[in-house]
Chains A and B, each alone.
Chain A
């Protein structure tokens, strides 16, 4: 079994802080289980395990997004700890996935706690506003980053420092049928990501495109890749878009706008209050 070095913990905790800031701002991807697990895998010299743990968690959580400020399980911290223990214990990717899910679920509460703590800064800002202290309002918002970061950094740090002992003892207790079941669950859990996405997309209206995508990979999976399916999907989308534009142009009569060029300057904005 590999040792967890202090450097590793420091780097990973720092990564967690950056990741959570990414999650609440531009969402470029650092915050996703895919990137986090890959990063951990890279640090521990086992990129493959990192990629597989990350990819599985990613597919499972594709549709799980923080719509309108809803709290979702913390799969970022889950992925980090799951991957770490999968690699140092040498148990493989399935073990990491199986570990990441309960950790993520458990840490849901930390997200709620962090968001609740931020009410303090909101009140502080309200008081500053009474005095017209705009610098205080700015400060309040910037300090709001602290609960976000700490609510992830602390569990990850604790998990990496003390987790080994706990996990070893849990391991000794898990029966083999349970591990087999977890492995199967790992295989079917990405279904959840798909299902949530389908809930957000207009499946009932455009089910035909869903069938086209499915058939391509189900029957011709050896020929088609996801990239190929995405290109076919793009072509279908472009056709649909052109058709609606043409229909609109026909409705509008002479004011045709082919190719969907939207001229923003066409409309003069006047404020005549």
Chain B
């Protein structure tokens, strides 16, 4: 370190803990369409800025402007970036400005990708689906599952802060590669759970029946169940999956499509009776 001039100030453990707590609760309070988490990020990193530039208004101004810039990433992953930022500013002081900017903007994209898959999609698929499945059967105990999982995530986020801090920029980049096999494994778990959920939570069964002379055919039990149990739920899910791949279909539009489908399927027997009555 050649330029270690007047920045002998170091962060205390207390500072890092403060940043961690602010990162948990404050990153998105000021979320807005212009800078997204930009305002929140400045709030999160503020204990560091106060410690390092608290007695130098010029440096503080510079640092505040930089830290208020556009930022948006996955919340749990942001701890790695904040951690690296802390280390860089502690080592290099305000000289680190450009490096910090590069780290922030360079990492927020890839981190968001990994974090949203791991902490949103897979995490929800596992915790909340099990809790909801238990609740569906009238069991309130399942609600503990997300709470336990949340405690685990808080611990992971604490670790992330220190991993980011200890290793600065280099490791923060490497770490996202190391998460790749974990994400891969977690998606396998997620997909197994999703597959299992379909027969148990998409509870549609058709009440359609055909009468041929003396014999009545119940479409559900006599035909569909013999081919593949839960065939209709699977078909509806696959239809939704396919529709979501279309550019014009988002989740809100899909709701309307499914509502219409529900109207149709729920009244299918009546519609058939009506139609056959016409002839």
- With contacts A144-B31, A191-B240 known, is A65 near B120, CB below 8 A? yes
**Contact B265 A198, beta carbon cutoff 8 Å:** no
Contacts of B88 in A (CB 8 A): 271
**Contact A177 B267, beta carbon cutoff 8 Å:** yes
In-complex Cβ contact of B121 among A26, A189, A201, A238 (8 A): A201
Segment touching A, from B5-13, B21-29, B212-220: B21-29
Residues of chain A in range 174-188 having any CB-CB distance to chain B below 8 Å: 177-178, 180-188
Contacts of B117 in A (CB 8 A): 200-201
Residues of chain B in range 231-279 having any CB-CB distance to chain A below 8 Å: 233-234, 236-241, 243-245, 251-252, 254-255, 258-259, 261-267, 270
User: Is A38 on the interface with B (CB-CB < 8 A)?
Assistant: yes
Contacts of B49 in A (CB 8 A): 134
CB distance from B37 to the nearest CB of A (A): 8
In the bound complex, what is the Cα–Cα distance between A101 and B229 (angstroms)? 29
- With contacts A185-B261, A191-B237, A213-B194 known, is A130 near B61, CB below 8 A? yes
Using an 8 Å CB-CB cutoff, how does the interface string of B191-213 with A read, 1 for contact, 0 for none? 11111111111111000000000
User: Is A59 on the interface with B (CB-CB < 8 A)?
Assistant: yes
**Contact A194 B240, beta carbon cutoff 8 Å:** yes
8 A-B pairs within 8 Å (CB atoms) are namely A38-B140, A101-B259, A186-B262, A189-B262, A217-B195, A229-B196, A237-B192, A271-B88
In the bound complex, what is the Cα–Cα distance between A48 and B124 (angstroms)? 23
Residue ranges of B at the interface with A (Cβ–Cβ < 8 Å): 1, 24-36, 38-40, 42-43, 46, 49-50, 57-58, 60-61, 64-65, 68, 72, 75, 88, 91-92, 99, 112, 116-117, 120-122, 124-133, 135-136, 138-140, 143, 146-147, 150, 153-154, 163, 166-171, 174, 178, 181-182, 184-204, 228-230, 233-234, 236-241, 243-245, 251-252, 254-255, 258-259, 261-267, 270
The interface size bin for chain A is 35 or more
User: Is A167 on the interface with B (CB-CB < 8 A)?
Assistant: no
Contacts of B146 in A (CB 8 A): 28-29, 32
Residue ranges of A at the interface with B (Cβ–Cβ < 8 Å): 21, 24-29, 32, 34-35, 38, 47-48, 51-52, 54-56, 58-59, 62-65, 67-69, 72-73, 101, 105, 108, 115-116, 118-119, 121-122, 125-126, 128-132, 134, 137-138, 140-145, 148, 177-178, 180-203, 206-207, 209-219, 221, 224, 226-227, 229-230, 232-234, 236-238, 240-241, 244-245, 248, 260, 262, 264, 267, 269, 271, 273
In-complex Cβ contact of A233 among B188, B202, B234 (8 A): B188
**Contact B204 A116, beta carbon cutoff 8 Å:** no
CB distance from A52 to the nearest CB of B (A): 7
Contacts of B91 in A (CB 8 A): 271
- With contacts A59-B201, A187-B204 known, is A132 near B195, CB below 8 A? no
Contacts of B46 in A (CB 8 A): 134, 137-138
CB distance from A8 to the nearest CB of B (A): 19
Contacts of A206 in B (CB 8 A): 187-188, 191
In-complex Cβ contact of A214 among B122, B195, B241, B245 (8 A): B195
**Contact A115 B236, beta carbon cutoff 8 Å:** no
Contacts of A191 in B (CB 8 A): 198, 202, 233, 236-237, 239-240, 258
CB distance from A67 to the nearest CB of B (A): 5
- Interface hub of A212, A226, A262 (most chain B Cβ within 10 A): A226
In the bound complex, what is the Cα–Cα distance between A237 and B122 (angstroms)? 13
Contacts of B112 in A (CB 8 A): 68
In-complex Cβ contact of A219 among B64, B229, B255 (8 A): B229
In-complex Cβ contact of B240 among A192, A219, A221 (8 A): A192
Contacts of B42 in A (CB 8 A): 125, 129, 137, 141
In the bound complex, what is the Cα–Cα distance between A260 and B266 (angstroms)? 51
**Contact A68 B72, beta carbon cutoff 8 Å:** yes
Contacts of A67 in B (CB 8 A): 116, 120
In-complex Cβ contact of B196 among A128, A199, A213 (8 A): A213
In the bound complex, what is the Cα–Cα distance between A68 and B232 (angstroms)? 33
